[in-house]
């Protein structure tokens, strides 16, 4: 386990200024509920605007619609978006996971077909991982793709797929051959690029407790995939999917989800001073600073091509605890009648969202198991 | 970590480890100063490590120094080398010649004060050096000497440059303690993992139990947070000087204090009975953690400062202020 | 638990359970008042349960009432029966005849106010009854109706006896919410245990994983603490009247608020994705827990009151004060 | 799981008044370290004084030196002792565990030999449970007693035995026959009353990290026990030992260990007001009140002859969390320089003791496992 703070990339300051000007304008229309959902909010118009400014897929080669900027510059964009509570969900997955996967392991055709659209903020992605009997235990996946003449036939069911009903593509992890007896349960899985408009796909939105419909159940009934829809290597899906986890788990989306409440909480506390509040506020700010350092450190390691899998798990674990505790800390300082309506609405929305923070992207228990194993506990 | 820093850390770690594990820790508790260890570290020029080369020192960065302090904390090194490094850095910055030997910081509860020939005091920007004429011995919960000193007339004085600020002593000490906490936490985490893999109950190592795994993993997160916060603070001092690094140092001390509390509790829970015994090495670190979280400003005190500032600046400035401090 | 209380609890539980699980909870969210449930409970005389027999009521103790409120909480019963019980008890105590039907408590954010014909207001010791002339609908995070009311001229008034005190409404509501929290926590604990024994991952029920067991066991401790705190508060009201039971009620609301936070988080962690869905019953209880911890005074507000009192009385009085309140 | 608050026993008020007068006098000599150790403090003189007042073994029959008072009156005594931070360690185990065991399962001879001495505060007991390879896993005990003509021969080693070096007797749980193949690992254990002056016993005190020597390692080398030293039934030792656990785990010693710091903390905060401290103080007081209610409820159930094993585990679990958090809450309010010297000393002592709270009498993990099993998780 090692964290080294990277240097700030040149041009970061100008980039931040640009982003802040953009976000100051865009944020006027955002309700507290939108800010609370942030990267769980889906707004294609907003994503297109972000794409038009070159802030999606910005590290990718120009040839694929990228801007060839550094990973640390990308982090600047992510940070600013989340600190503002921007509804980035329509491009978040494509930028964070699916785009990089295709860039790294996709065919040239796939790259040219997909990446520019993501970068323009026009193609939205979802990730098909969980199934009814495979949540934390992903090796238990049963959705399968069978080889047929000209391609693959896909059957099965994915669940909890965020934004499937609004997305253009899914990257699905499915079984292409049975796990070998006595071998790794993770063998025989492959990743596919699934066009969600194909026939045989039905998508049932699942409303969540906060009344939003970000979850879905996606059923595949003899869906015909082309040969070229396989991403990377057949049977190597597990390794491919997990190799991206450091990106998925270390970003500012793992510690900033509740940030807008902190910012507004400070103003509420200025308007309604609470004796002693400064100690709690200081603890939150100190954690925020440390988490940002951890996340940036992993960003630096990723930029250098290292594989900080465990460091990323640590960012997510400590970050999720922080994100979940933040609204509660504010509740512990300010009674509802002393809070402005907007903060109250933000906290109400966050309260219903926070349970997901330590579930999405790997539960707390799974993450800590990974960390423990890395420390040599087994 | 730079290559130079790596080599330094390794050298110092070897010296401290060669001093014999917890043996010198017990000695110092019995009243004996571990002279050999002190001399060994001094011979490396450590006392003058933060003094610029042009002033006859080694000219290390604060980042390097913090890495060394972490190593000292990792071994609970019972010598006031970190404090002496800080004292020397301040003296040199104020244009005062640095005397040989242990430097005591301040007058009340001075770390290892009884072993110091000189003490450094700061009043505003005015730094003074005093001979130590007597020490009324005390100790912190880590059983480290913390002595009230009788100081003689100042033997030298100087003015600290603005870059250091009137709180240079407190801030420097806070950074030292945060770094030592990072090191000690790293140590007890390693000890606990080792024990969990060794100790068997119910027919298997306790490290196979998920409850133990989850606790140690959570602790690892805290250890990581402190390490990063300390690096960030040291880097801020290098970039902007002590005076302008109060925020980062405070953040480091807050996170270190919280992590010390959590980490010590977790390690003891994993070690159970054996960890509570005087004979076991664990308490040399947990007691120091409990002591160090109080020294150089508690996490409560620093959080209050940071919080006050954040409240005064308002919500709209919080994020811009944070990012504007990037080095 | 007394035999009478046991029978009552069972009767009410059957009524509420027969109302169809979470179906009426969904209905009330859609704007339909579960009239059948309300009528069923009313036929049991529940609305007048806390009104003395000599005043035409049932004459239950507050201990009995708290047990019933716990049952209502356990099922999230979407009717303002607990509030109406309290309103009726106060009206009767003030010598005001209790009207039929739902009673709204207060004017702003009144629970189920849109369904009430009358509202009760308390100003000092003066209790007034008003016709509800209009309701601006609102909802808490539990999606329960919380309406701002337009009230007509008072239709009746009376003076609450000293035993009730000027904060009778707030304290009564705090006790109601604490009791409902106790019930809802009991429910989600049972749901989570059941799910843990059912849901399989890695080839076995997740309830076999020590991490799940440890969390649910910790939650059980919180549930127990709330139940005891609620019983203690109700007993204090029975022994000394509402006015003199502020301490115990406050303690109950503090512990209930803390436990609600912890319990809701734990249950969601155990249920994972399915627990977040609208279709699952869990959120009917967790959302109510989040709402109820805020109503009748937050745990923060009550803790502040209790703490202020304890600080004013001083350390030497803390233990004697606590034991002197034993019933 | 059920908690019913018992009514206050008649005479409780007078009893409290008596105790407080006694403790006000006795407590003058107690340093902060003594108060912090409380029931981990051993003071034979004090115990004799408590015994002389009839406050040890007070529920036992007069014939054995008891006072035939109710279990709830006994709780009044325990509470008052602990709230004052009294050094009750020399009679605590005899009163709480060993005496009741002998009363319930001992022979008439054992009762007459032992109980009056405990009640007078003259006989101190320790409990020999843990062994080097049997901590949480007590079924792994290896110390064994072999039948020999005229009695038993004891060999083996106990560790972490609190106050063995200062006690008169140990109640030792040892193996008298091997665990049956495929049967319960807890079968074949028996309890013995071991006179610690017997030859063949060597006791090595183990200093703890706070510098006290309450722990011991006790070695048995061909120690000859008499026939009559067996307590209860041969082979039933496990059931006998665990049947007392509700008493051991539900008492005020499971939530009041840090109480003296709360009391002193209030005064320190009065002298040095901290804005907002009242909220934290109120939370502690509310918890204290709830825990007292839980503990009293179990006391009432025990008095009625019920077996509240799980309720007792819950008291201990919630109580230990409270006891451990209390000094930290105070630290979070008052910096050392704002605290009076006595509170500082008390907190320093408690800080070094608190780790044991969730270890002694069953670790947190073991307790929660018991609770989980009772809830039907398995």
For residue C1, the model assigns a pLDDT of: 54
**pLDDT grade for D189, boundaries at 50, 70 and 90:** very high
Please tell me the distance in Å from B325's CA to the nearest CA on chain D. Answer: 28
Which residues in chain B have Cβ-Cβ distances shorter than 8 Å to C209?
210
Residue B1 banded pLDDT, cuts 50, 70, 90 = low
pLDDT at A204 over 60: yes
Q: What are residue D146's DSSP bridge partners?
A: D153
Yes or no: say if D10 and D319 are a contact pair by the CB < 8 Å rule: no
Contacts of B146 in chain D (CB under 8 A): none
| Residue whose C-alpha is closest to residue C77's, from C18, C6, C119 | C18
- For tokens 């970050």, name the residue: A319
Q: Which residues contact A21 (CB under 8 A, 6 or more apart)?
A: none
* Between D179 and C242, the higher pLDDT residue: C242
pLDDT at D345 over 90: yes
Q: What are phi and psi of B131, to 5 degrees?
A: -75, 140
| Structure token digits, residue D265 | 């903390």
3-state SS, residue A376: coil
A289 with B232: Cβ contact below 8 A = yes
Which three-class secondary structure state does DSSP give residue C120? strand
Vertex A204 angle, CA A201 and A206, to 5°: 150
Give the CA distances from residue A87 to residues A33, A249, B33, in Å, rounded to whole numbers and listed in that order.
Answer: 10, 19, 61
**Residue D133 sits at the chain B interface (C-beta within 8 Å):** yes
- The Cα A221–Cα A193 span in angstroms is 16
Task: Please give the full DSSP string across C176-226, using - where no structure is assigned.
Answer: HHHHHHHHHHHHHHHHHHHHHHH-EETTEEGGGSHHHHHHHHHHHHHHHHH
pLDDT for position A177: 95
pLDDT reported for residue A16: 97
Q: Return the residue of D nearest to A274 by Cα.
A: D276
Q: Chain A interface, mutation test: which of B310, B312, B316, B325, most A Cβ atoms within 10 Å?
A: B310
CB-side neighbour CA atoms (13 Å) of C131: 4
Confidence at residue C18, expressed as pLDDT on a 0 to 100 scale: 87
What are the CA-CA distances from residue A323 to residues A77, B316, D246 (Å)?
20, 19, 39
Q: Which residue of D has its CA nearest to A277?
A: D276
> Which residues neighbour A104 within 8 Å (Cβ) at sequence distance 6 or greater?
none
Instruction: Say how many C-beta atoms besides its own lie within 10 A of residue D87's C-beta.
Output: 25
DSSP state of B54: G
D209/B277 CB distance under 8 A:
yes
pLDDT tens for D290-336 read 999 999 999 999 999 998 999 999 999 999 999 999 999 999 999 99
A78: left (phi over 0), alpha (psi -120 to 50) or beta: alpha
Characterize the bridge pairing of strands A189-195 and A230-231.
antiparallel
Provide the token pair at D157: 């080693």
Q: Do B300 and D335 touch (CB under 8 A)?
A: yes
Chains with at least 3 CB pairs less than 8 angstroms from chain A: B, C, D
Arithmetic mean of pLDDT, A289-302: 96
**Per-residue CA distances from B206 to B201, B202, C20, D61, D378 (Å):** 6, 8, 47, 45, 19
- The helix-helix angle for D259-271 and D309-331 (nearest 10°) equals 30
Chain B partners within 8 Å of D333 (Cβ):
300
- Look at residue B18 in the predicted model and tell me its pLDDT: 87
Q: What is the pLDDT of residue C21?
A: 81
Is A25 touching C (CB cutoff 8 A)? Answer: no
D270-281: average pLDDT:
96
CA nearest to B93, candidates B176, B174, B162, B44: B162
From chain D, the residues in CB contact with A332 under 8 A are 279
End-to-end alpha carbon distance in chain B: 16
Q: What is the DSSP secondary-structure string of A221-251?
A: EEEEEEGGGEES-TTBHHHHHHHTHHHHHHS
Q: Which segments of chain A are extended strands (E)? A: 125-128, 144-148, 151-159, 169-175, 189-195, 201-206, 215-226, 230-231
CB-based contact (8 Å) between D311 and chain C? Answer: yes
Q: How high is the mean pLDDT in each 10-residue block of chain C (327 residues)? A: 81 90 87 93 94 94 97 96 98 97 97 97 97 97 96 97 96 98 98 97 96 98 98 97 97 98 98 95 98 98 98 97 92
As given in the structure block, the two tokens for residue A107 are: 């065919």
Q: SS3 for D70?
A: coil
Beta strand pairing call for A189-195 and A201-206:
unpaired
Whole-angstrom CA distances from D294 to C66, C177, C261, D190, D282 are 17, 20, 20, 32, 18
Total number of residues shown for chain D: 378
Distance to chain B for A371, nearest Cα, Å: 6
Inter-residue contact C234 to C174 (CB < 8 Å): no
Dihedral sign, Cα of residue D208, residue D212, residue D215, residue D216: positive
Tokens representing D338 are 């704002």
Kindly report, residue by residue over B275-301, the tens digit of the pLDDT.
999 999 999 999 999 999 999 999 999
In a mutational test of the C interface, the residue from D358, D375, D376 whose CB has the highest number of chain C CBs within 10 Å is D375
Q: What gap in Å lies between CA B269 and CA B189, rounded to an integer?
A: 12
Q: How far is D216 from chain C (nearest CA, A)?
A: 31
The full DSSP string for C109-133 is SEETGGG-SEEEEEETTEEEEEEEE
Give CA–CA dist A307/A72, Å, rounded: 16
Q: Which residue in A259, A3, A290, D336 sits closest to B255, CA to CA? A: A290
Q: Is A296 left (phi over 0), alpha (psi -120 to 50) or beta?
A: alpha
Chain segment A49-103, per-residue pLDDT in tens: 999 999 999 999 999 999 999 999 999 999 999 999 999 999 999 999 999 999 9
* Helix (H) or strand (E) run with residue A75 in it: helix A71-83
Alpha-carbon distance of D37 to D28, in angstroms, equals 16
Q: What DSSP state is assigned to residue D208?
A: B
Partner residues linked to B127 by β-bridges: B122, B158
Of residues A202, A140, A138, A135, the one with CA closest to residue A170: A202
CA distance to partner chain A, nearest, from residue D217 (Å):
30
| Other beta carbons less than 10 A from residue C204's beta carbon | 9
For chain B, say whether D335 makes contact (Cβ under 8 Å). yes
Report whether A210 contacts C283 (CB < 8 A): no
Alpha-carbon Rg of chain A, whole angstroms? 21
Name the token pair of A165. Answer: 């009903």
Say if residues B104 and B116 touch (Cβ distance below 8 Å): yes
Measure C97 CA to nearest chain A CA, in Å: 33
Q: What is the pLDDT of residues D123-166, one digit of tens each?
A: 999 999 999 999 889 889 999 999 999 999 999 999 999 999 99
Threshold 0.95, pTM exceeds: yes
Token pair listed for A156:
């099965």
How is residue A378 written in tokens?
Answer: 């087994």
- The pLDDT of A43-48, averaged and rounded, is 98
For residue D270, give the nearest of C308, C300, A276, A278 by alpha carbon: C308
Task: Report the Cα B270 to chain-centroid distance in Å.
Answer: 25
- Classify strands C200-201 and C146-151 as parallel, antiparallel or unpaired: unpaired
Beta bridge partners of A331: none
Instruction: Please state the ipTM of this predicted complex.
Output: 0.96
Q: How far apart are CA D174 and CA D139, in angstroms?
A: 10
Convert C82-110 to b/e letters by CB count within 10 Å (16 or more is b): bbbbbbbbbbbbbebebbeebbbbbbebb
- pLDDT at C4 (0 to 100): 78
DSSP B115: G
User: Looking at the predicted structure, is the pLDDT value of residue D356 above 70?
Assistant: yes
What's the token pair of residue D266?
């209030």
CA distances from A96 to A100, A118, A166, B311 (A): 7, 11, 17, 34
Reported as half-sphere exposure (CB side, CA atoms, 13 A), residue D298 has a value of 28
| Exposure letters A189-215 (e unless 16+ CB within 10 A, then b) | bbbbbbebeeeebebeebebbbebebb
């Amino acid at each position: 386990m090692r964290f080294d703070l990277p240097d700030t990339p040149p041009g970061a300051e100008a980039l931040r200024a640009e982003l802040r000007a953009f976000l100051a304008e865009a944020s006027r229309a955002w309700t507290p509920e939108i800010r609370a959902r942030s990267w769980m909010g889906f707004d294609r118009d907003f994503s297109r605007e972000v794409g038009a400014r070159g802030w999606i897929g910005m590290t990718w080669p120009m040839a694929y619609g990228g801007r060839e900027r550094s990973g640390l510059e990308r982090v600047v964009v992510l940070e600013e978006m989340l600190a503002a509570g921007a509804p980035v969900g329509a491009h978040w997955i494509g930028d964070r996971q699916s785009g990089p996967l295709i860039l790294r392991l996709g065919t040239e055709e796939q790259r040219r077909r997909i990446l520019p659209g993501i970068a323009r903020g026009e193609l939205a992605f979802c990730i098909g991982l969980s199934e009814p009997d495979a949540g934390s235990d992903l090796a238990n996946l049963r959705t399968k793709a069978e080889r047929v003449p000209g391609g693959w036939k896909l059957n099965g069911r994915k669940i909890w797929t965020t934004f499937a009903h609004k997305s253009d593509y899914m990257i699905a992890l499915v079984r292409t051959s049975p796990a070998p007896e006595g071998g790794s349960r993770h063998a025989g899985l492959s990743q596919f690029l699934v066009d969600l408009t194909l026939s045989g796909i039905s998508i049932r939105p699942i409303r969540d407790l906060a009344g939003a419909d970000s979850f879905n159940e996606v059923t595949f009934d003899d869906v015909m995939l082309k040969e070229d829809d396989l991403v990377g290597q057949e049977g190597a899906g597990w390794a491919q999917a997990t190799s991206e986890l450091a990106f998925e788990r270390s970003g500012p989306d793992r510690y900033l989800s509740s940030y807008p409440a902190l910012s507004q909480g400070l103003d509420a506390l200025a308007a309604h001073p609470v004796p002693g509040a400064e100690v709690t506020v200081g603890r939150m700010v100190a954690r925020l600073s440390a988490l940002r350092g951890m996340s940036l450190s992993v960003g630096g390691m990723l930029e250098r091509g290292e594989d900080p899998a465990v460091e990323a798990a640590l960012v997510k674990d400590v970050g999720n605890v922080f994100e979940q505790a933040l609204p509660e800390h504010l509740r512990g300082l300010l009674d509802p009648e002393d809070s402005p309506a907007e903060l109250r609405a933000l906290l109400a929305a966050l309260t219903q969202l926070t349970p997901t923070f330590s579930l999405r992207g790997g539960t707390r228990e799974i993450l800590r198991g990974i960390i423990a194993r890395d420390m040599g506990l087994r | 970590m730079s290559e130079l820093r790596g080599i330094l850390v390794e050298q110092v770690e070897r010296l401290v480890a060669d001093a014999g594990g917890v043996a010198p820790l017990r000695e110092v508790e019995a009243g004996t100063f571990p002279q050999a260890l002190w001399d060994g570290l001094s011979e490396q020029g450590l006392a003058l490590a933060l003094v610029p080369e042009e002033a006859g020192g080694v000219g290390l960065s604060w980042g390097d120094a913090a890495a060394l302090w972490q190593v000292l904390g990792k071994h609970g090194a019972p010598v006031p080398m970190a404090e002496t490094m800080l004292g020397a850095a301040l003296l040199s910055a104020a244009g005062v010649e640095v005397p040989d030997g242990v430097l005591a910081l301040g007058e009340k509860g001075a770390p290892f004060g009884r072993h110091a020939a000189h003490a450094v005091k700061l009043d505003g920007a005015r730094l003074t050096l005093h001979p130590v004429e007597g020490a009324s011995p005390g100790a912190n919960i880590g059983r480290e000497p913390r002595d009230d000193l009788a100081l003689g007339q100042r033997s030298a004085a100087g003015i600290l440059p603005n870059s250091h600020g009137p709180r240079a002593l407190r801030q420097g000490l806070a950074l030292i303690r945060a770094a030592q906490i990072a090191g000690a936490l790293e140590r007890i985490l390693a000890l606990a993992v080792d024990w969990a893999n060794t100790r068997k109950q119910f027919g298997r190592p306790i490290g196979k139990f998920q409850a133990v795994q989850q606790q140690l993993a959570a602790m690892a997160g805290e250890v990581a947070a402190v390490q990063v916060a300390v690096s960030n603070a040291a880097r801020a001092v290098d970039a902007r000087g002590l005076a302008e690094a109060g925020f980062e140092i405070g953040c480091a001390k807050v996170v270190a204090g919280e992590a010390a509390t959590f980490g010590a509790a977790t390690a003891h829970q994993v070690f159970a009975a054996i960890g509570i015994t005087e004979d076991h090495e664990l308490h040399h670190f947990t007691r120091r953690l409990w002591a160090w979280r109080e020294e150089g400003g508690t996490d409560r005190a620093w959080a209050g400062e940071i919080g006050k500032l954040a409240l005064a600046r308002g919500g709209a400035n919080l994020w811009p202020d944070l990012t504007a401090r990037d080095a």
